[in-house]
Chain A
Amino acid sequence: MFMIEQIIFIICLASVGYIAYKRIRRIIQNIRLGKDEVIKDNPSQRWQNTLLIAFGQKKMFDRPLVGLMHFVIYVGFLIINIEVLEIIIDGIAGTHRLFAPILGGFYTFLINFFEFLAVGVIVVCAIFLIRRNILRVKRLHARELTKWPLTDANLILTFEILLMLAFLTWNASDTVLRERGVEHYNIAGIGSFWFSGILSSLFEGWDTTALVVYERFAWWFHILGILGFGIYVTYSKHLHIAMAFPNTYFARLLPKGEMRNMPVVTKEVRLMLGLPETTNGNSDTSVSTESADATPGRFGAKDINDLSWKNLMDAYSCTECGRCTSECPANITGKLLSPRKIMMDTRDRMEEVGQQIESGKEAFTDGKSLLDNYITREELLACTTCNACVEVCPVSISPLDIILELRRYMIMEESSAPGSWNAMFSNEENNMAPWKFSPSDRFNWADQLKSGQ
């Protein structure tokens, strides 16, 4: 009996490993569809950000209550997964609670602590479900959060509750079996568990065979659930549980106001102005995705392969929490733009291209693109470049960077600016100011002052 169970377990584990491997490889390849960008500067600052913002969840505490609740799930999941290690070894070796004799009294403490966290996770997930579906918190409802994204969020929360319930009832049924001294379960030295102890009374009346069946069911449900969850996550906004860490590490350190330079343009402009090609500019401190000598591809971005790999990593890291959108001045005043949607669109387009590659087709031959098929010009034009979205994102995403690259494509490749912008451009070109004033009048403001008001 145990042999068969072990074999099934190993097969499950191996298949999950294989699926996960393929999926992770796909994600990495999708991110690599983006342009090269060297991000190597200042590793100590980067580690510090990763520690504070990703591990320490610093920005989540901008909203202290939600931050705390999210922290419970985060810590719960991180720590309860230590238990998964024992479960996997037990599953492979056919043992039961292998760590108990080794850890002695500490084992009882550990399981109690896990149970405490599990209860915390259940409570918080329930509150989150209520906030999302009954209280209908505004930030969690938007035109981009219908259909799959809405189901995704609810599925995850429900699933987390079920997993934790399986863990608790597994401990409860196991405790009864241990107390009855049933063989394989009768491990000495395990103390009582607080929370599952309460649940044990539910199982006391059961006969031993039924108990064993339930114990096995809960054990399998819990571990297969976690493994399945691991795969599911890679298709979901919940990928942030992994991506938040590298994404924070690679987040830009420059002042938010600085825009990515375009060396190809610099080269051309200097040529036009009759200036020597080189400058003493410290361009190595600035972000740019191309070197000046690279064959100029597109100006700006029309599709995901025109964006930097970091923009694409951003898209896989987005949790769809909508903090960005809730602080976006354009969105607040009813415009179409939602920075969260920019990230979701980028990710959807990336997945679409990835699937083409997966099915053996050549990428980017479907006649679609991120601009127009996903993100409209009306959205792009509404951005005030205020950086509110960038500032507030808990996983250091920049929706603004993508918006600006798409705008560059619109203006530089298509010259499709609104009329009033074209007028501004021509003023800038002819009058060196965005308004139609003569450059020779630029200093007139001082006349009044010099004449003693």
Chain B
Amino acid sequence: MSETINFQVPTMAELMARGEEPEVLFWVGCAGSFDDRYKKVTIAFTKILNKLGIRFAVLGTEESCTGDPARRAGNEFLFQMLAIQNIEVLNGYNIKKIVTACPHCFNTLKNDYPALGGNYEVLHHSQFLQQLINEGKIKLQGGGEFKGKRITYHDSCYLGRANDVYEAPREVLQALDAELVEMKRSRRHGLCCGAGGGQMFKEAEPGNKEVNIERIEEALNTNPNVVAVACPFCMTMLADGIKNKEKETEVKVYDLAELIDRSL
């Protein structure tokens, strides 16, 4: 069915010019906009939105970094500069509801922005997809590509512990009719991929192992076909881990949106 669809990616500016309001703003995030691997996730999620006929919009070039890496690294000035400017844009468009495929953007928009005057209903794409599945709007073709495959889900810290979202991504995976296998450390006790808190943007401190290697070893212990992630940084870290273990032909790292899009 996807071949026949003419994909649209409307911006808020365009919608505004037409006097329309979207149901939801898709916040793409920096990784979703610039990182070659995660751009695929952005595209997959956009396709899902198109296929389901959801009235969404993006900010396009009016979007800026939420400021999360700056804030967690300790640079509050820089964070607030970015955050307040974003809030001006969002409030200017009278945005009510936001969905994003990045747990860091999700957390910052949802938890950090209210104190600065930005109040929105913010959903992570796993929650958004879960709602669509529950409402029966996403109907996966029976016997899709991932049916019966072993999938292990890596909890992103900023989705899990930071915001207590543990079940939504798992329910999305369950819809694939795949075999969901849990790692030893999961949910509340999930092990970080090593990228949060600004680590993505610097060398790790001296130690005896990289965090992503520790995590991928645990993931590989479950003998998965797919390591499912819901975060751009986790994606990078775990994909690097798999390359390091020379397993990239057997084990793939996919985001939830890609898994759903390919089965839709």
Contacts and interface: CB of A to CB of B under 8 A. Distances in A.
Q: Which of A283, A285, A335, A445 has the most CB of B within 10 A?
A: A445
B195 A384 contact: yes
A161 B170 CA distance: 47
Given A434-B69, A442-B60, A384 B81 contact: no
A335 B111 contact: no
A452 interface: yes
Interface string A332-376: 111111000000000000000000000000000000000000000
Closest 9 CB pairs of A and B: A257-B162, A385-B197, A279-B117, A334-B208, A411-B74, A407-B74, A334-B207, A386-B192, A432-B64
Contact of B61 (A261, A417, A443, A448): A443
Contacts of B80: 262, 265-266, 269
B32 interface: yes
A385 B64 contact: no
Interface of A: 62, 254-259, 261-262, 265-266, 268-270, 272-273, 275, 279-283, 285-286, 288, 299-300, 327, 329-330, 332-337, 378, 381-388, 390-392, 404, 407-412, 417-418, 420-421, 423-425, 428-429, 432-435, 437, 439-446, 448-450, 452
B224 interface: no
A62 B194 CA distance: 24
Nearest to A440: B61
Nearest to A331: B207
A410 B47 CA distance: 43
B241 to A, nearest CB: 12
A286 to B, nearest CB: 4
Contacts of B211: 329-330, 332-333, 384
Interface stretch (B38-46, B125-133, B174-182, B243-251): B38-46
Contact of A434 (B9, B32, B46, B65): B65
Nearest to B164: A255
Interface stretch (B82-90, B92-100, B135-143, B145-153): B82-90
Contact of A384 (B11, B46, B199): B199
Given A384-B157, A411-B74, A417-B74, A441 B34 contact: yes
B116 A261 contact: yes
B119 interface: yes
Q: Which of B34, B158, B195 has the most CB of A within 10 A?
A: B34
Contacts of B115: 261, 266, 281-283, 285-286, 288
Contacts of A412: 74-77
Given A417-B74, A442-B63, A258 B112 contact: yes
Nearest to B195: A384
B161 A335 contact: no
A425 B112 CA distance: 19
Nearest to A419: B202
A334 B207 CA distance: 4
A428 to B, nearest CB: 5
A338 to B, nearest CB: 12
26 contacts: A255-B107, A256-B161, A256-B163, A275-B84, A281-B116, A333-B194, A333-B207, A333-B210, A334-B207, A334-B208, A378-B206, A382-B204, A385-B197, A386-B196, A386-B197, A387-B161, A388-B161, A388-B192, A420-B202, A428-B67, A429-B81, A432-B64, A437-B33, A446-B46, A448-B43, A452-B7
Interface residues of B, number: 80
A384 to B, nearest CB: 4
A191 to B, nearest CB: 48
Contact of B74 (A327, A388, A408): A408
Given A285-B114, A300-B74, A425-B78, A445 B65 contact: no
A49 to B, nearest CB: 15
Contacts of B77: 265, 268-269, 412
Interface in B59-73: 60-61, 63-65, 67, 69-73
Q: Which of B32, B188, B208 has the most CB of A within 10 A?
A: B188
B33 to A, nearest CB: 5
A275 B88 contact: yes
A433 B60 CA distance: 13
A443 B58 contact: yes
Contacts of A418: 202-203
Interface string B206-232: 111111001100000000000000000
Given A283-B115, A412-B76, A442-B60, A391 B69 contact: no
Given A384-B192, A388-B157, A442-B33, A428 B82 contact: yes
Given A281-B117, A425-B73, A433-B33, 9 more contacts: A285-B115, A333-B210, A334-B206, A384-B192, A384-B199, A385-B157, A385-B196, A411-B75, A432-B64
A450 B7 CA distance: 6
Contacts of A279: 116-117
B29 to A, nearest CB: 9
A417 B65 contact: no
Interface in B17-45: 28, 30, 32-35, 39, 42-43
A439 to B, nearest CB: 6
Given A333-B208, A335-B204, A442-B33, A387 B162 contact: yes
Contact of A429 (B78, B162, B197): B78
A266 B75 CA distance: 13
Nearest to B28: A445
